[in-house]
Amino acid sequence: MTRTVLCFGDSNTHGTPPMPHLDFIGRWGREERWPGVMAAALGPAWHVVEEGHPGRTTVHPDPIEGAHRNGLAVLPALLESHWPIDLVIVKLGTNDLKPRFAVNAGDIALAVGRLADAILASGAGPGGAAPAILLVAPPPILEAGCLAEMFAGGRAKSLRLAGAIRAEAERRGLPFLDAGSVIAVDPLDGIHYGRAAHAALGAALAAEVRRLWP
């Protein structure tokens, strides 16, 4: 029987390439984005649902980009829409580093924990059980290029994010992967991933899914 994994993330799950300027519009191809790479590696035993929204935060309505960027607000509808879900990969936190949200790494990790709690309480898994969860910490950012001012002060916080999210995962007995141990952001804009990084992350996540849920 085919199992379903929901990839819940932001622009780096959506597949936004490194941006040379703020008006840039682009997206890596379906097979190039990390969920597509992971799907190809996992094969037909898994159905991969790609749910990446540029600008998505963990729990914050964005005063500039819109309230609909709030991940916690849209999560219940997504879980119900794609039910039954065997596994949710949560990979958020990068957009929370923007100074407009005024939160630290510990706050971001607590917000990721809130997302995990919502999934565990959802009954969105097979037979009304909770889906399994894999928490993924995004790699550290750079304050570079056209996004440098938007993420001013975010680099230092991002360096502490993996450890903080790991602690939240351990509190709940959830598996954890540090994307920063596998990939790095592209120096062009300091936030988004190049094609090779998508390939490496997709392969690493496929290996982790196979290891944890054979």
**Is the pTM value of this prediction over 0.95?**
yes
**Position 17 confidence tier, pLDDT thresholds 50, 70, 90:** very high
Percent of the chain past pLDDT 70, that is, above it, reads 100
pLDDT, tens digit, 9 for 90 and up, residues 25-59: 999 999 999 999 999 999 999 999 999 999 999 99
pLDDT at 200: 98
- Fold classified for 3-212: Rossmann fold (3.40.50)
pLDDT, tens digit, 9 for 90 and up, residues 84-130: 999 999 999 999 999 999 999 999 999 999 999 999 999 999 999 99
Q: Where are the domains of the chain?
A: 3-212
**What is each CA distance from 189 to 61, 105, 151, 170, in whole angstroms?**
23, 21, 10, 32
Radius of gyration of the chain (CA): 16
